[in-house]
Each structure stands twice: as structure tokens, then as C-alpha cells.
Amino acid sequence: MRVPAHLAKVVSLAASGAPASLLIVSQAFSQSPEPAAREVPARNLAIPTTVSPQMQRIVNGPLRTNWDLLPKTGEEWKALADAGAAATMKNLPAWREHLHVKVEPAVMDGVKVFWVTPEVVAPENRERLLVHVHGGCYVFSPGEAATAEAILMAGFGHIKVLSVDYRMPPEAYFPAALDDAITVWKAVLKTNDPKRMGFIGTSAGGALTLEMALRAKALDLPLPGAIASGTPMSDVTKTGDTFHTNEMVDNVLVSTSGFCDAAAAFYAHGHDLADPLLSPVNGDMHGFPPTILTSGTRDLLLSNTVRVHRKLRNAGVEAFLQVFEAQAHAEYLRDDTAPETKEAFEEISGFFDKHLAK
């Protein structure tokens, strides 16, 4: 529709049969309104018919129970993280089996990692490696639970993945996660061509991929050949329009008043949340390698994702955005059998294949 909202009065007068002269007078007095907060009424979200049965079940799940129950101590955060990790890990044996992927723990320059290797590495990926930084609001998904996304990536992409089990609160605070990821990046640079390597992560991990690139630039380290940043926590200052429009619509994160922003603040440990190493949308992205971004229409972090996409494009970076119908935050990581999961990772694999050196 081309009719500007501030002219709606004119249009409604026309519909009522008002003469053209009156329309013109009316229009002359019509002014663009001053911006004001606007109330959106309650509504029922219908069940989307435009996603697979598996995804329908995921996107229509109730809001995460106790999404606004915020732990008060490091021990309480750790208990929550450990319980979540135990639950996630129950899925992983089946995922590894379906996707023909093996996971082996290791330590690299003092940092815990997991080698996540597909049974068959594609010929074009023989010399390639992805460094994976897991999500979980900088506090969740410790240990092997960190490998969920890496398993999907290795399995669907037929590529080796090195997943960083970075230190988290209450063991260590900002910038420990980033320090550990950069330690691993420096280690793999000793024996690998950076142009044959990529960064991948989602949520806090999506932010970390961008923070790693910012830090690498600052340290004059080589950048990778490409980055896959899934629905990044690119702005932890609670800034971004979908924090409001998708509040209570996103059944995973639910609200900026919930556990995830609290966890990020717990990790920040008093550090300025607007620092680009915590809110990378504030960073200088000139010179970044090609970057693929993934989100969903119900994602609380859709704005955080598209703002990074536009920022990269405005910095002249090749950046590709995929947004999945009806998905809330990171729901493309939830069911390895959902066609949308395969679709997301095949798009990401194709992007890496296009941009990483062979």
C-alpha cells in the first residue's frame, strides 16, 4: 500500500464521498504524528501451517517454564546450567548416530575442546576446519552439551568442527569465553590456512563469532574465510525492536526480562554491556569475511540479527541473511530430523563451501 498513514484521514474522507476540495484542505492540515509508544492488544497465535510437523511442535510449545526465574548465586546458575546440559546430552547419542559424527574431547593450549568429526569428510572439505563456539547466554551448555550445534554442522556439512568448551561463570567471567576461543584460534592457525577455516556459533555463540573477528582484527591475527553467526546476541543492552514486538511470542527466550539477558549480565560481571566485545553490533565490521546470519520470524533476536546484517552490508562485507518462517530463537537447533534444520545447515554449508579456500 502506497498511501502514507498520515493521509489515512484524507482517504477515509474520500471513501465517505467528501468532495476533492475538502480532501485537499484536510490533507494540508494533516501532519505526521510525533512518535509515541503504541499499545498492541492481546491476541492468540494460531498454529502455523507453513512449517513441518516437527517444527510445528517446537514453535507451538508453551513458553519456557520459569523463563523469569533468575538464579541469584553462581551456584544456582551452575545448577541450572548442569541440569540443562544433562538434558541436552540425552539427545546427543542419537544425533551422533543419525548424522554419523564422532565427538572426542581434547585440550588445546589449556582450553577444553571437542573434535567433532563426520564419518565421511567431503573431498572439498579435506583441508577445511570450522571453529565452533556454543550458545547458552554465556552461562549454559558446559562440557559435551556444547557440541550439539557442532554435531549438526559436521553431519549436514561433512566437515570437521572443533568446538570450544570455553570457561563460564561462576568459574570465570568476561572476557574468559572470548579469551579461550582466541587461544584456540591462535592454536589452529599454527597448522591451518585461515582462509580454509570458518567460525560458527549461535546465540551467545553467534555473538562470539563476531567478537572473535573483532578481537582478531585488534590483535592483527588472520581472520577466517567465512563466519556463520546464528541469531547472535549482538546487543545485550536490551536494544532492538523485536525485543518488544516478539516479547512473549518467542517461546524460548520469551523476554529481555528473562534468564538469558540476566545470564549475559552475570557473565559481564560489571563490565560495560555496550562494549563491542559483549555487544558486537557496536563494533567496526570493516574487513570482516563473508558472513551468513540465521534467524526466525518469532525470534526475540531477529532485530539483533538483521541489524548485524545491515551493518555488515554497509561496511561492504558479503553477508547473507536467512530467516525461517515462525521459528523462535535458535529453533533450527532443536530437532535433527526437522527438514528446516537440514535446510538451515545446508544453506550454511553451501555458504562455507562458496567462501572457504579449498
In the range 202-221, which residues lie near its own copies by CB under 8 A? 203
CA separation for the pair 123, 35 (Å, rounded): 56
Q: Which of 96, 112, 307, 355 binds its own copies (CB under 8 A)?
A: 307
Is 324 a binding residue for its own copies by CB under 8 A? The answer is yes
Is residue 29 within the footprint of its own copies (CB under 8 A)?
A: no
Q: Is 21 a binder of its own copies (CB under 8 A)?
A: no
Region near its own copies per CB under 8 A, out of 121-129, 152-160, 218-226, 307-315:
307-315
Q: How far is the CB of 185 from its own copies (least distance, A)?
A: 22
CB 295 within 8 A of CB 302: yes
**Which residues on adjacent β-strands are paired with residue 293?**
229, 321
Nearer to its own copies, 24 or 218 (CB): 24
Q: Sign of the C-alpha dihedral, residues 135, 138, 141, 146?
A: positive
When asked if residue 190 is in the footprint of its own copies (CB under 8 A), the reply is: no
15 sits near its own copies (criterion: CB under 8 A): yes
3-state per-residue secondary structure call for 160-189: CEEEECCCCCCCCCCCHHHHHHHHHHHHHH
Q: Which amino acid is at 169?
A: P
Q: Does the protein bind its own copies through residue 71 (CB under 8 A)?
A: yes
Cell numbers placing 115: 573434535
Rounded CA-CA distance 259/70 in Å is 6
Stretch 127-156 residues interacting with its own copies (CB under 8 A): 134-137, 140-141, 145, 148-149
Instruction: Please report whether residue 341 would count as binding its own copies according to CB under 8 A.
Output: no
Note whether 274 binds its own copies by CB under 8 A.
no
Q: Which of 127, 247, 275, 353 binds its own copies (CB under 8 A)?
A: 247
Q: How far is the CB of 219 from its own copies (least distance, A)?
A: 29
CA distance readout (Å), 186 to 93, 175, 222, 270 = 31, 16, 9, 28
